[in-house]
């Protein structure tokens, strides 16, 4: 090697060259980016990607196609792998947003809608997770009777814990009660509108001077803005998802439109005014009531379905199909439904099933760890995947292990479906969302914790046992065929 010559891809050079060949070469790559664990490709022709050979590369833990992108799971070293790939392949990486825009060219209308919905809620997930943990902790110290022979909670016997319980509501309220602020900000950010104006729009939906819409539903008389010729009721939309989404999209579209038609030398003055003021007015006159009605219908349909005579069937279908929904991205819709259920009924019976699905996928991986206990290389992938799955992050387990072998994925789906039927059949409700997997029990309402623990045991045992049975049957069929 000549002095001063640069060597690219020292760590992953072999794997990178193989991946480049197996995705169809440089000419098949429209765009490439990466996230925390995955390489994201937008390919001209997905059929040219040799999935079997790609998944045989040592550094790659699995592949899947979602939202128009061919995604390759690398793990924590994805940034190093990505840098080596872009250098060796001589392709320019792009931002995730650019890759998503290019990927939408390969999507149908439903996929585009789901993609937009996912992008709205993805930035809010850290807040929702911490909010769920806080509400779960408040649940433990304030609502569960742990002391004095099960007659008193921690807050009833300790001023410290009573103060802690009171203080933590400050954060819980900020996350869930004022959720519309996060939604309008996220929409503004996603669409390229002015983010601080999106935040202000959200605040106008939850301002303390507004009467909570639930107060109106309870018969309270709302104050009004009196314009002489008309009056507008001062109703807030705290914890509401759809009113905030409608207002956020209107504001962003209006601002972007005004930017194109108002001269740049006066746009800083006129655009914010004429984008924000009409949106706030329409949000309180039209969009808020419409969004409230839509949200109520959706939450009532879901809640009625889960508590009806045929609730067990709905639960079985949801529990069985939730993991496949994650593959398609459709699971992002459940965030909005869960949040609406929480605001409408003070809890959600949907989230417990999601937590159980997480556990079931982890248990299937646990069975694979047992079956491959002599395989050190396999355990390096499966053990971290099982741990993250039990903590509510299913992607490494699903794409790295369960879908790779198929039968563990099916075993997890069956176990999840059975556990969901038990959960719904016994009326389990969660106070909040965001805490998945085993810690999900923290979010369950106190009177249902023991019941949910039983459903968790089902989600652990059934997938584990079924995975071992399926594996032995598969091995028996293979041996019979060989003989």
Per-residue pLDDT reduced to its tens digit, 299-346: 888 888 888 888 899 999 999 999 888 776 667 678 778 888 888 888
Is 389 labeled as catalytic in the residue annotation? no
| 3 state SS of 62 | strand
Residue 54 falls inside a structural domain: yes
Asked whether 88 and 13 are in contact (CB, 8 A), the reply is: yes
Asked if 288 and 345 sit in the same domain, the reply is: no
pLDDT band at 200 (very low <50, low <70, confident <90, very high): very high
d(CA 320, CA 403): 15
Asked if 140 and 223 sit in the same domain, the reply is: yes
Q: What is the pLDDT of residue 270?
A: 95
Residue with tokens 């080596």: 84
pLDDT of residue 103 exceeding 60, the answer is no
Of the listed 11, 25, 35, 157, which one is catalytic? 35
pLDDT of residue 432 exceeding 50, the answer is yes
Q: Is 192 left (phi over 0), alpha (psi -120 to 50) or beta?
A: left
pLDDT of residue 483 exceeding 60, the answer is no
Residue 300 falls inside a structural domain: no
| 3 state SS of 478 | helix
Helix segments in 90-194, DSSP class H: 96-103, 109-121, 125-142, 154-157, 159-172, 179-191
Task: Show Cβ contacts of residue 279 under 8 Å, excluding neighbours closer than 6 positions.
Answer: 201, 247, 250, 251, 254
Asked if 44 and 145 sit in the same domain, the reply is: no
pLDDT band at 7 (very low <50, low <70, confident <90, very high): very low
d(CA 407, CA 466): 9
Q: What is the pLDDT of residue 454?
A: 95
pLDDT of residue 105 exceeding 80, the answer is no
Asked if 231 and 327 sit in the same domain, the reply is: no
pLDDT band at 226 (very low <50, low <70, confident <90, very high): very high
Asked if 282 and 140 sit in the same domain, the reply is: yes
pLDDT of residue 69 exceeding 70, the answer is yes
Asked if 375 and 423 sit in the same domain, the reply is: yes
Q: What is the pLDDT of residue 451?
A: 94
Residue 88 falls inside a structural domain: yes
Q: What is the pLDDT of residue 455?
A: 96
Asked if 67 and 179 sit in the same domain, the reply is: no
Q: Which of 272, 294, 316 is the last residue of a domain?
A: 294
Q: Structural domain of residue 27, as residue ranges?
A: 13-107
Q: Which two tokens stand for residue 131?
A: 């909010």
CA 423, 426, 427, 429 torsion: positive or negative? negative
Asked if 385 and 357 sit in the same domain, the reply is: yes
Give the pTM: 0.70
Q: Which two tokens stand for residue 234?
A: 């001062």
| Number of compact structural domains in the chain | 3
Asked if 320 and 376 sit in the same domain, the reply is: yes
pLDDT, one tens digit per residue, over 263-294 is 988 999 999 999 999 999 999 999 999 988 88
Average pLDDT value over all residues in the chain: 85
d(CA 469, CA 370): 12
Residue 1 falls inside a structural domain: no
């Amino acid at each position: 090697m000549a002095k001063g010559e640069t060597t690219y891809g020292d760590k992953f050079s072999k794997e990178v060259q193989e991946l480049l060949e197996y995705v169809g070469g440089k000419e098949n790559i429209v765009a490439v980016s990466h996230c925390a664990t995955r390489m994201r490709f937008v390919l001209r022709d997905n059929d040219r990607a040799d999935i079997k050979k790609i998944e045989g590369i040592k550094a790659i833990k699995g592949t899947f196609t979602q939202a128009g992108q061919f995604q390759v799971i690398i793990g924590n070293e994805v940034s190093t792998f990505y840098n080596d790939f872009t250098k060796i392949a001589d392709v320019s990486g792009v931002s995730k947003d650019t890759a998503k825009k290019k990927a939408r060219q390969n999507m149908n209308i439903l996929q585009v809608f789901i993609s937009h919905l996912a992008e709205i809620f993805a930035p809010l997930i850290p807040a929702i997770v911490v909010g769920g943990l806080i509400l779960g902790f408040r649940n433990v110290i304030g609502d569960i009777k742990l002391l004095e022979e099960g007659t008193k909670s921690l807050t009833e016997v300790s001023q410290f814990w009573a103060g802690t319980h009171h203080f933590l509501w400050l954060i819980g309220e900020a996350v869930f009660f004022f959720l519309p602020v996060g939604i309008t900000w996220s929409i503004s950010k996603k669409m390229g509108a002015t983010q601080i104006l999106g935040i202000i729009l959200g605040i106008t939906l939850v301002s303390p001077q507004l009467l909570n819409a639930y107060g109106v539903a309870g018969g309270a008389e709302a104050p009004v803005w009196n314009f002489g010729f008309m009056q507008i009721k001062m109703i807030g939309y705290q914890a509401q998802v759809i009113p905030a989404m409608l207002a956020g999209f209107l504001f962003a579209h209006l601002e972007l439109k005004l930017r194109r038609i108002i001269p740049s030398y006066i746009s800083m003055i006129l655009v914010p005014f004429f984008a924000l003021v009409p949106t706030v007015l329409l949000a309180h006159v039209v969009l808020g009531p419409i969004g409230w009605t839509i949200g109520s219908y959706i939450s009532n349909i879901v809640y009625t379905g889960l508590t009806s005579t045929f609730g067990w069937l709905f639960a079985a279908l949801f529990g069985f199909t939730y993991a496949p929904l994650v593959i398609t991205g459709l699971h992002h819709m459940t965030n909005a439904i869960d949040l609406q259920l929480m605001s409408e009924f003070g809890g959600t019976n949907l989230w417990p099933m999601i937590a159980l699905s997480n556990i079931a996928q982890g248990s299937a991986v646990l069975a694979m760890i047992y079956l491959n206990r002599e395989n050190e290389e396999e355990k390096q992938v499966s053990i971290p995947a099982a741990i993250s799955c039990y903590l509510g992050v299913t992607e490494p387990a699903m794409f790295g292990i369960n879908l790779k072998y198929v039968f563990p994925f099916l075993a997890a789906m069956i176990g999840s479906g059975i556990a969901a039927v038990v959960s719904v059949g016994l009326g389990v409700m969660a106070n909040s969302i965001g805490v998945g997997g085993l810690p999900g029990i923290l979010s369950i309402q106190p009177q249902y914790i023991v019941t949910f623990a039983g459903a968790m045991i089902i989600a652990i045992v059934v997938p584990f046992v079924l995975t071992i049975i399926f594996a032995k049957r598969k091995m028996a069929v293979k041996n019979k065929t060989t003989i």
